[in-house]
Structure 1
Amino acid sequence: MLTFCPVCANVLIVEEGPKCMRFACNSCPYVQNITKTITHKVYPRLKEVDDVLGGAAAWENVDSTEVVCPKCEHKRAFFMQLQTRSADEPMTTFYKCCNMDCAHRWRD
């Protein structure tokens, strides 16, 4: 936490005075004794995580294929392929179960 001089607006430094610690200004003669513990906590605000696959809109115009869902054993699932690794690696296939009660997602 930075504390500023009320006289000249420079940053105050902490120094040891004759009886206690104190704030002092390097530019002017301002001095303020520190009589109590001073703390100030600022927690960083986390940014929102983006959906890498494009959210619900990514599944709007996809095809379906015959594949068994590992959760409900339904025989059809929607799929899309994305290049998630380097170009010399194969594409990753993402599946979403066609059974709307399940809607399980997995990748192959």
Structure 2
Amino acid sequence: MEFCPKCKSMMFPGAGNIECRKCGYTKEQGAATEDMVSKAKQDDREVTILEENFDQGLPTTAARCPECGHNVAYWWLRQLRSADESETRFFKCVKCAATWREYD
């Protein structure tokens, strides 16, 4: 995750660069940033999936993996619906790297 040096807002990947949606600042996207995230289709929506070892800085929690049954997973929150609805919690198994989400 990168933040804008001008306005300190979060920057998002764009067409070959990273862009600030608030002030419009752009920075050329490096190879390391391109490998950090990927998009996956789920229920006709794109969902951000963490790749490789970039998830090691995330917090862990006790959550049973539906694939391998391991009881520890990384987790993060993502706002998928409108702002007045709750965030969706995603999990990634620390053992097999399977990714799933929690429904409210």
The normalised TM-score by structure 1 is 0.46
Higher relative strand content: 2
The normalised TM-score by structure 2 is 0.48
Structure with the greater alpha carbon radius of gyration = 1
